[in-house]
Amino acid sequence: MAVALNPMAAAFEYMVDLSQRTVLFWDVMRQRGNGYREHMAMAAPHVLDYEAELVVDGRTLERPVNYGLARIIPPEGVTIDPTLRPFVVFDPRAGHGPGIGGFKADSEIGVALRAGHPCYFVGFLPDPMPGQTIEDIARAEAVFLKTVIERHPGVDGRPCVVGNCQAGWAVMMLAAVAPDLFGPIIVAGSPLSYWTGQSGLNPMRYSGGLLGGSWLTALTGDLGHGRFDGAWLVQNFENLNPANTLWTKPYNLFAKIDTEAPHYLGFERWWGGHVNLNAEEMQFIVDELFVGNKLAAGEVKSSNGTAIDLRNIRSPIIVFCSKGDNITPPQQALGWILDLYDDVDEIRSYGQTIVYSVHEKVGHLGIFVSGGVARKEHGEFASNIDLIDVLPPGLYEAVFESKSADTANPDLAHGDWIMRCEARTLDDIRALGGNDVADDRSFAAAARVSEINLALYKTFAQPFVRAAVNEQAADLMHRLHPLRVQYEALSDANPLAAMLAPAAGLVRENRVEAGKDNPFLTLQETMSRQIIAGLNAWRDARDSFSEALFKAIYGSPAVQAMVGIDPSSERPLRKAGKSALYRELVERRIAELKSRIAEGGLREAVVRALVYIGMPRASVDERGFEMVRRIRRSQGDMPPISLQDFKALVREQFFLLLIDPDGAIAALPEMLPQDAAARAKAMALIREVLAAAGDIDGESKERLQRIARIFEGGPALKEVTSGGGKPFLRSV
């Protein structure tokens, strides 16, 4: 306090602290450069926090790729349950190297291991194999999943597959063409509907159009002599938030130099580990996904002409996104649902289960690296993956409720949270915001302009660029990329930077921190906030101008008409086509189910009763599912049933109740045994499962009473009043 009251003493103390922090800061930059050089010198650079053994080397496949499948070796103290389905984590190849899915103990891999699941990781080398394509990678990933399935023959259920960021769309595409390889799919921060967003909030989607489309991607690939430098992708991310790139990140290190260095260096090891793509790979991604936005519309085709339709996916899809993510906002993570389906009934008709969770504030990288997110969302997904797998088809939102003193049966829920899957409609997705028809016309016009510019570039400029660039020139440009230079220049390879180490050592021996009450520290923080505010203001002005310019150009009726877009059309431009044959197949399936409405025994009757009573709740709680698990383990009256057979049973009973709720309940007496004791025991089981999530009230209570009368009456009860409330199909 005495220093704070003495301006000269406070100034001197602050200047000593400032000088020492400056030396230490630049020494950390030197360490960052050394770490970068060491990382890139590795044969297979990664940032996994776990030991791993290579299982399949993609370079040895018939169509070689630079991907590989590795088994994660559980750390000491972690026990794996061999009966649990394995988790396979696919990391994104979007400019950075692999490992972010297992960056630390509290990570996607970490929480899956703690839940007892065997874990595998799909990573990649810095350089692609010559000629490899996106389709080659998909074939390799199919081999990886087949290998995992073969290594776990006794497991009940297919592997749970996690696709982070850009790996998400790759996983979804593969699941659409090879659905039998997949268990539940978790896509985290994954863009699947690239045009969608909110005006004033998601400026990144405009950049492609303002640059004239994908011709610039082709030029970059040609300047790289057939190689696309991932550092350009990383620079795009950095340009998105200049305040963080230019000030917040380095200032946070500078201000907390005595404690922040390990965290900073660990993250920079991944952030600076740039990788490359073949020019053809990147061109496919930009043309088919980023600019064309063809995936959700079913317009992406394989080399044999087969259209990739995401409606063919048979596994539950868990979409995790965040409102704080300005790279993959919720609209881009969830917009594909609106492109594919007209309503929830159509989702059900395809037998699809979609569960989404929207975080309120975490940023894009926080989805993968935040310890809090890993412990909460990813931890709950890992612990309840079997629950998600057996959910009836439909659209759900995963809601997480913190345990409290008032929580009923807290021992039935894993960890500190209770996960509940609540039924939703497409209106809930629309409520998040998104494009209108005018926005879609603008993006469609941008896509047409991109096609024109790319054709012009390939015809008139590409031959000259390719002739002018050889391997040596491309390598020089690669090494002189600004992001690489900043790492190389501040490392021990630079004799001037090498002198920082002894100076930093001397500072650490004589370190004197300024007191927390030093007024100059307060002034420093104030100046920092002003710098951040100024950079944010510049960013907002830049983004607003970009959005206005994009809309002025591509929203122009004249531009739209010139490229073949009807400016007056109100017809959606991206809706996936409907198949008359599919509708016929659905009608046949409905007729088949109706014919089997009275089939089954006590097990089918119990499941039908549980689904029927729980329908008004419009949600499924993890505590009820855990109770089913415990009862299943402890009771030997019924023969065992596999998880997949149980899933099929739940779905069939759910569909019967959708098609004909009164008929399905009226048929229950014929399905019950003569033994009154068996019926009573089954009714007690029903009550126990339903009570696991708390009190039973409202319409569910009325339905429970109706079911109790049926089970008490048994086969003799042939006449059942319709009662029971409105069908679930209409109630949600």
57 burial class (0-12, 13-18, 19+ CB within 10 angstroms)? Answer: middle
Confidence band for 567, pLDDT divided at 50, 70 and 90: very high
Return the ∠ at Cα 392 (arms to 386 and 394), rounded to 5°.
115
Distance separating alpha carbons of residues 450 and 453, to the nearest angstrom? 5
Helix (H) or strand (E) holding 399: strand 394-402
User: Quick one: CA dihedral 320, 322, 328, 329, positive or negative?
Assistant: positive
From the list 332, 376, 328, 385, the residue with the least C-alpha distance to 355 is 385
Angle between helices 134-151 and 166-177 (to 10 degrees): 70
Average pLDDT across the chain, whole number: 90
Question: Tell me, what's the pLDDT at 571?
Answer: 80
Place of tokens 């002189």: 480
Phi, psi of 54 (to 5 degrees): -70, 130
For 5, the token pair is: 């009251």
- Residue-by-residue DSSP string for 613-648: HHGGGTEEEHHHHHHHHHHHHH--SS----HHHHHH
* pLDDT tens track for 338-362: 999 999 999 999 999 999 999 999 9
- Structure confidence at residue 722 (pLDDT): 37
CB 714 within 8 A of CB 683: no
134-147 mean pLDDT: 97
Show the tokens assigned to 532: 């951040």
45-59, 562-576, 600-614, 685-699: which range is least confident on average?
A: 562-576
Among residues 387, 392, 343, which one has the least CA distance to residue 653? 392
Q: What is the pLDDT of residue 725?
A: 39
Q: What is the pLDDT of residue 472?
A: 96
CB 225 within 8 A of CB 315: no
CA distances 699 to 159, 397, 686, Å, are 37, 22, 16
Residue 322 has pLDDT above 60, yes or no: yes
Phi and psi, residue 519, nearest 5°: -65, -25
Q: Which of 344, 351, 388, 399 is nearest to 183 (CA)?
A: 388
pLDDT grade, residue 724 (50/70/90)?
very low
DSSP letters, 315-370, are: S-EEEEEETT-SSS-HHHHHHHHHHH-SSHHHHHHTT-EEEEEEESS--TTHHHH-
Among the listed residues 393, 391, 359, the one whose alpha carbon sits nearest the alpha carbon of residue 374: 359
Q: In this structure, are residues 224 and 474 in contact, taking their beta carbons and an 8 Å threshold?
A: yes
